[in-house]
Structure formats: C-alpha cells, structure tokens
Amino acid sequence: MAFDNLPPSKPAPRRAKNAPIFCVGWRAFVHWPLRGQTLMPVPLNDASGKPLVNDLLDGQQVEIVSWQPRSREGLLYQIRRVADGTEWWIGAQYLRREAVFSSAGEPAASAARR
C-alpha cells in the first residue's frame, strides 16, 4: 500500500558532535563573543519560546545546576551565575570550559572544572 498523498519525510537535523558536555556541579563560562559590536545579553527563551530578559555576558562564570536533553536542539543546562546566584536555562552552544576565548577562535586557558 503506497501513501502517495504524504509529503516525503525529511530527517531531523543532527546536533553538532563537538558541542561541549558539562556535569552537574561543574563551573563553566558564558560563550557569547560579539567581536566589534556592542555588548548584548545572551539570547535566552522560556519553555514557550518567548525571549527572556537577562544580563548574561560573555565570560561570566556559571555553575551547572541541572541539564535537560532535547533531541534536535541539543542539551539545555540550568545554570547559576556565581556572582549573584541568579538562574536560567541556556543551550550548550552558549557555554564553554575556558575563561578566555582567543581572537583566533581557539579556546585559551585551563579547564574550569571543580
């Protein structure tokens, strides 16, 4: 039995295999380098997709509180900013292990694990 009335299926886009993985309790740094642009907070959304107001900037130290798997978008991490204890959910692509991000795009500094 053929289903000619259905559109051809498309495979789901795969998340990058080089995305960073963090354990609960580890320290990480916000990754949002805007070279030559004005400082803007990291784009964060709530569960319904609405933008959240925040003041997370590149290089701020955070602690991983928990994580949530998301098949297409990759991992989400609940983070707590070390400076004041505020918490948000953030995508793995907005985190890095190193405190400093070099201008060549290569991470530079030691790992920020506990």
Give the domain range for residue 37. 27-108
Is residue 96 included in any domain, yes or no?
yes
Is residue 52 included in any domain, yes or no?
yes
Is residue 70 included in any domain, yes or no?
yes
Is residue 14 included in any domain, yes or no?
no
Is residue 40 included in any domain, yes or no?
yes
Is residue 77 included in any domain, yes or no?
yes
Q: Which of 48, 46, 59 is nearest to 87 (CA)?
A: 46
Q: Which of 9, 16, 31 is nearest to 72 (CA)?
A: 16
Is residue 9 included in any domain, yes or no?
no
Is residue 1 included in any domain, yes or no?
no
User: Would you say 31 and 94 are in contact if contact means Cβ atoms under 8 Å apart?
Assistant: yes
pTM above 0.85, yes or no: no
Give me the average pLDDT of each 10-residue run along the chain (114 residues): 63 64 93 75 74 87 91 81 91 88 49 44
CA distance 28 to 95: 6
3-state SS assignment for residue 24: coil
Number of domains within the chain: 1
